[in-house]
Every structure is written in structure tokens, then in C-alpha cells.
Structure 1
Amino acid sequence: MTAYRPMARPPTLVPGPLAAREVGVAPATIRKWVQLGRLQAAGRAGRAQLFRLEDVFAAERAARGAGRRTR
């Protein structure tokens, strides 16, 4: 008997402004994380960069943790 395995779903990609809203930061913060190499776009839609939400949340956690270490 074959075990049930749910189908893998492709990651949901969202534009920068929506990603920023999801993690509670300004869109400029998303752009800064990209510039600093803390976040990488997973695709493009025209000129807009698209991000995986899990990557954005990871970058936000890393940024929050970096702020605690410098105090």
C-alpha cells in the first residue's frame, strides 16, 4: 500500500510592497535587505521583484535578532 503524500505546492510569490506589509516593515526596508544581500528575489513580474514569504519572514527574524545583539 502506498502512503499518502500531499502534492508539493510551488511557493507563493508576492511583490515587495505586499511582502513588506506582511512582516510589518516599509517597502524601503525590503529594498534595503535586497541591497545588503539579506533577501533575494525569487522572480519577477515585469519590473516588480517577487519574493517568497518564507524568505521575507526569515530576513525579518534575522534583522530583529541582529538588533538585539548590538545593544
Structure 2
Amino acid sequence: MFLDCDLEQAIWTTTEAAEAAGVTPDVIYQWKRRGKLVPVNRRGWPRYRAMDVLRAEQSTRQRAGRTHVAA
């Protein structure tokens, strides 16, 4: 899994971010469009800081009233 790395330094693809957050890649794109996630690169396929992805996931989960990630 992707969570066994240095999360402060890790940069993830959309697919990696989705897997780590327990969502689909479409959700990652939605978070990007809504401004919850900002890619770290300006060109090419978007890459995201791991901590930003996890914070966006936590924020979304708390707003929805969910306290854990569905298995």
C-alpha cells in the first residue's frame, strides 16, 4: 500500500491517491475541481501530495458524518 512511505514527502498519481483514500479516481478529480486538492505539477498528469489527499479525505468524511472508511 502507499501509506508505508514518508507521507510528508510522497507525491501520488490520481490512481494512487484514490486507492489510498478509499475512493474512485473520479472523486479525486471532483476534489480537484472543487478546490479541495491542488496538483503539485503544472503540466502533464496531475500529481498530489499524500498529506493533501489524506486531509481532503478526512475533511470529506467528517462533513458527511462518517467516522471510518468503508472496507
TM bin, normalised by shorter chain, reads: 0.7 to 0.9
Aligned twin of 1:53: 50
Number of residue-to-residue matches in the alignment: 59
The TM-score normalised by the length of structure 1 is 0.74
Give the number of the structure whose alpha-carbon radius of gyration is greater: 1
Matched residue type, 1:43: N
Structure 2 unmatched ranges of 5 or more:
1-7, 66-71
Alignment of 1:55-70 (within 5 A): 55-68=52-65
Report the RMSD for the aligned CA atoms in angstroms.
1.9
Distance in 1, Cα, partners of 2:36 & 2:11:
17
Distance in 1, Cα, partners of 2:19 & 2:26:
11
Distance in 1, Cα, partners of 2:59 & 2:12:
20
Distance in 2, Cα, partners of 1:55 & 1:38:
8
Sequence identity percentage:
28
Segments ≥4 residues shifted beyond 4 Å: none
